[in-house]
Structure 1
Amino acid sequence: MRTLLAILCLLFLFPSCKTPEARRPVSIKSGSFIDESINRNKQLAAREESRIQKIIDKDTANSYITSEGGFWYFYNVKDTLSTRTPKFGDIVNFNYNVKDLNGNIIYTEKELDTITYYIDKEELFLGLREGLKLMKAGETATFLFPSYQAYGYYGDDNKIGTNIPLRTTVTLHKITKESTTEN
Structure 2
Amino acid sequence: MKFIYRLLILLLLISSCKSPEARQPISVQSGSFIKESAERNRKLNEQERTRIETIISENPQRDYIASQNGFWYYYNTKVENDSITPNFGDLVNFNYDLKDLNGNVIYSQEELGTQNYAMDQEELFSGLREGLKLMKPRESVTFLFPSQKAFGYYGDNDRIGTNIPLQCKVTVNSITQNQ
In the superposition, the TM-score normalised over structure 1's length comes to 0.89
Structure-1 residue corresponding to 2:29? 29
Structure 1, unaligned runs of 5 or more: none
Structure-1 residue corresponding to 2:99? 99
Alpha-carbon deviations, 1:107-165, whole Å to 9, x = none?
Answer: 01111111000111111000000100111100111000000110011111111111000
Structure-2 residue corresponding to 1:58? 58
What is the one-letter code of the residue matched to 2:61?
A: A
- Per mean C-alpha deviation after superposition, the further-off stretch among 122-131 and 77-86 is 77-86
What is the one-letter code of the residue matched to 1:69?
A: N
Structure-2 residue corresponding to 1:146? 146
Alpha-carbon deviations, 1:25-67, whole Å to 9, x = none?
Answer: 0100012211111111111111100000000000122110110
Deviation, structure 1 residue 19: 3.4
Structure 2, unaligned runs of 5 or more: none
What is the one-letter code of the residue matched to 1:28?
A: V
What is the one-letter code of the residue matched to 1:94?
A: F
Query: Aligned equivalents of 2:79 and 2:21: distance in 1?
Result: 72
Structure-2 residue corresponding to 1:74? 74
Matched position secondary structure for 2:99: strand
- Per mean C-alpha deviation after superposition, the further-off stretch among 96-105 and 14-23 is 14-23
Matched position secondary structure for 2:43: helix
Stretches of 4+ aligned residues off by more than 2 angstroms:
9-19
**Percent identity between the two aligned chains:** 56
* RMSD of Structure 2 on Structure 1 (CA): 1.8
Query: Aligned equivalents of 2:51 and 2:129: distance in 1?
Result: 23
Matched position secondary structure for 1:142: strand
Query: Aligned equivalents of 2:49 and 2:64: distance in 1?
Result: 14
Alpha-carbon deviations, 1:66-115, whole Å to 9, x = none?
Answer: 10101000011111111111111110000000000000110011111110
Q: How many pairs were matched up?
A: 175
Structure-1 residue corresponding to 2:45? 45
Structure-2 residue corresponding to 1:85? 85
Query: Aligned equivalents of 2:120 and 2:66: distance in 1?
Result: 21
Matched position secondary structure for 1:50: helix
Query: Aligned equivalents of 1:124 and 1:130: distance in 2?
Result: 10
Structure-2 residue corresponding to 1:118? 118
Matched position secondary structure for 2:21: coil
Matched position secondary structure for 1:124: coil
Matched position secondary structure for 2:172: strand
Query: Aligned equivalents of 2:19 and 2:141: distance in 1?
Result: 70
- Per mean C-alpha deviation after superposition, the further-off stretch among 24-33 and 162-171 is 24-33
Query: Aligned equivalents of 1:17 and 1:91: distance in 2?
Result: 68
Query: Aligned equivalents of 2:12 and 2:161: distance in 1?
Result: 65
Query: Aligned equivalents of 1:40 and 1:78: distance in 2?
Result: 38
